[in-house]
Every structure is written in C-alpha cells, then in structure tokens.
A and B are shown apart, each in its own frame.
Chain A
C-alpha cells in the first residue's frame, strides 16, 4: 500500500487538471468532463481517508459511502447536464458556453 500522502497528492493533481479544464474549455460537454475529473479526484480522497483512517476513526465507512454517493450523483448530473447541452445545441446550434450569452432562449 502506498502512503496516504501519495494518494492525496495524486488526487490533488487530478483535481487541478480538472480545474484547468473547466477554466479553459469552451465546449459545455468538455467542461462537464473536467468536472467529472474533479469529482473523481474528490472521491479518491474520500476513499483514501476512509481506508487509512478506518482504525483511527472508529471503523466507520463514511468516506466510502460518500464516494458511492458521488458516483450516483455524478451519473444524475451527467444525464441532466447532457440534456441541457443537447437542448442548448438544438436551440442555439452551439455547445460553446461563451456563445450562450443571452439570458433567454
């Protein structure tokens, strides 16, 4: 097993990559994918804390349960967000968030 710090650093790197993607990408689908990366980085953290701190924190599974919920919520989020993107594309013929500057359809 690798030490906890290494897992955390790796998840931090993944999270930063996700942040970079969210900030630079213009396509809504791409932004969504970057958000997925961030979510996964977070859930790695959750799992790592749960595993490495299990003995120290009274054998609870909170972290893993959270990771599990994150997976589920991410699925819901992706479904919804893609619905919005498809809608956007349909109405404005673009998936580019910079071009969606009207506050109305």
Chain B
C-alpha cells in the first residue's frame, strides 16, 4: 500500500465552456434516490460535471434520544437506523452493551442471533437486487423476483419475532424469548427457497448483455480512494480489499464456520453487484452450518442480569459487519443507567460520502445506478 498519496484534489470543473450547464435537482422526491436524499447534479447535456449531496431529511437525532433513555429502552431505536438490517443493528447495540457491562450471552442465543443476522443480510441484499434492478431498468421484474424471497424471509422473521420490519427481538444478554419450536426446520426450508431465489436473480441479471454494458466500469473506485472515503462493506470488497469485520476483527462465533469472503477486481458497479450476490450465497452457507451446529436446547438469556443496567464507566467502539459495511456503535458509559454518549457509525453515511467521487464525469443514468449500487438506507445515513 503506497503511503499517503491519497489527498483531496480540488474540484476541477472544466474551464472550457461547453454550452450551458444545467443544475438538476434529483430528490428529495425522486424514484431512484432510495429515500429522501437530494443530489444536485450539474450536468452538461447528459454528462455530470459535479454533484452535491444534501442529506439530513430523515435526521431524527437517534443518538441524542438514546442518550436520554436507559440502555434497554433505547434498543427499539436501533432497529430504525437501518430498517433493512434491523437484526444486525440490534446485535451491534446489544454486543456493545454486553462488552461494556461484561455480560456474556449464552451460546444458543448467539447462534440464533447469528442466524437471524445472516438471514437479514440476505434479506437486505435481496432488497438491493430489487432496487438496483429497477435502477438499471428491469421494469419491476428484478424487483418482484427479489421481493418474493424477501417476503419469505420476512415471514420467517415475523414468526420468530412477531414483527416484519422492526423486530426488537434481541436483548442485552440474549434473546427476548425462546425461538418457536420449528425454528430450525423452517430456517432450513427457507434456506432452500432462498438459494433458488438467488439462482433466479443470478440468471435474470448477471449475464444480461445490457446489464453488463451498463454496469461495467461505471463508478469505479480504487481501493485507496475507497479506504480514504471510509467506504466499507461490499463496496470496499468490490474494490479488491478483503476487509470483512467478521474475519478481520472477529466477533461472536464466526470463526466456527467455513465460508469465503468475495472480493471484486475492478471496484465498479458490476463488481459490487457480483460481490453482493456471492455474499448472499456465503451467508446461506454460514446459516446452514450454524443451523447444524446450534444446540437444541439451552438458555437464551444470560444469568443474573441486574434489573437496571449500569455498566461501569468506560467506553467501547463496537463494530460489526452489517450488510452495508462496518456498523459501529461508540458507546461511553459514565456508570449511570443511560449511555453518556452513543454514536452510530453508519456504513451508508460514509459510503454515500464517496458518491461525488464516483459520479463526477459519468452520465446521469450512471449517477442513478451508482447511487443504487452504493445501496444506501437514508434512515441510516441521517440517523
């Protein structure tokens, strides 16, 4: 890795005066901004010269709210940052508190958490496939195909947690309640369905000539640039950096499974798509193994937890690999029943900050699919 060659170049807008530049306001209400995101494209004809992002429309002050609730009470807010990966968020939050307070969740609970989080990753990537397909122009076909599988997973989650989107099922030290009796069998059935669904999506999109020519070499980002922008997750892996926190800073029980980390070669939109597709398959692998290894019975909650949780003063930066990248919670305890400071490091936020770097010089249509390939969840960007 070369040293420190990554500096911020000044914005070089071509001095040459080509016809009249036009500012296009894309969003906050636009079908392809994936939420209330606004970007102002400065275009010359169809080519994007510059782009300015405006975020914050969904800012709800989740950090401030969490600081004003006790540790357990703020759990529900964590679902709402990244609503497509709610289990993963809950997990990070619970893990952060558990590490702060020195609690250890029982093994069975850990397995259930892992299975649900990995399934949630698949769900989130299905959502990506659908939305990205629509961005590329599959008039709804990719969307409905992906959503069919996503619905299946959501049905499963509903059976487990009682909710389809904001599960609120994990607890500090374990799970809210015992998973229902046929959990394992249903999960196995679900995996088979999901695998078929992944194959369908693969067949529909991967080798489509138009898809390839649309996505290849669009939005390329070198590994250095990606790292400099704090880009993590599938985007960074597509750029060729095999950084996966499940491997590099292991947490939970990921070291018990046999799986692989896919990385791309070019860091373009197509690689991101491929990486996500492969990640879904790997998640299926992980879940299958976890289902086999999972103890059939056992406690799902740590013993002897106090009624009011007061972790000793200290701090932790808990980070885990969410579907969109490194989701970190920086939590500072002052010894009271509320976190003194809770900061969410959301992957979407930093991935989105690299948008300008990727979009400049491409076409308007590229801007749309690049934004789609970044796969932002605006609730998470704005928190």
Contacts between the two chains (Cβ within 8 Å), count: 7
Chain A's closest residue to B17 (CB) is: A90
With A and B bound together, what is the CA distance between A93 and B17 in angstroms? 9
Q: How many residues of A contact B (CB 8 A)?
A: 5
Q: How many residues of B contact A (CB 8 A)?
A: 3
Contact mask for chain A residues 60-78; partner B; CB cutoff 8 A; 1 contact, 0 none: 0000000000000000000
Interface of chain B residues 3 through 59 with chain A (CB within 8 A)? 17-19
With A and B bound together, what is the CA distance between A89 and B19 in angstroms? 7
A86 within 8 A of B: yes
Which residues from chain A contact B17 at a C-beta distance below 8 Å? 90-91, 93
With A and B bound together, what is the CA distance between A86 and B18 in angstroms? 9
With A and B bound together, what is the CA distance between A72 and B17 in angstroms? 32
With A and B bound together, what is the CA distance between A93 and B19 in angstroms? 9
With A and B bound together, what is the CA distance between A86 and B44 in angstroms? 14
- For residue B2, give the distance in angstroms from its CB to the closest CB of chain A: 40
With A and B bound together, what is the CA distance between A90 and B16 in angstroms? 8
With A and B bound together, what is the CA distance between A93 and B18 in angstroms? 10
Chain A's closest residue to B20 (CB) is: A89
With A and B bound together, what is the CA distance between A76 and B92 in angstroms? 67
With A and B bound together, what is the CA distance between A86 and B17 in angstroms? 11
Interface of chain A residues 76 through 105 with chain B (CB within 8 A)? 86, 89-91, 93
Which residues from chain A contact B19 at a C-beta distance below 8 Å? 86, 89-90
With A and B bound together, what is the CA distance between A30 and B18 in angstroms? 21
- For residue A82, give the distance in angstroms from its CB to the closest CB of chain B: 12
With A and B bound together, what is the CA distance between A39 and B229 in angstroms? 60
7 contacts between A and B (CB under 8 A): A86-B19, A89-B19, A90-B17, A90-B18, A90-B19, A91-B17, A93-B17
- B contact residues vs A (CB 8 Å cutoff): 17-19
7 closest A-B pairs by CB: A90-B17, A90-B18, A90-B19, A86-B19, A93-B17, A89-B19, A91-B17
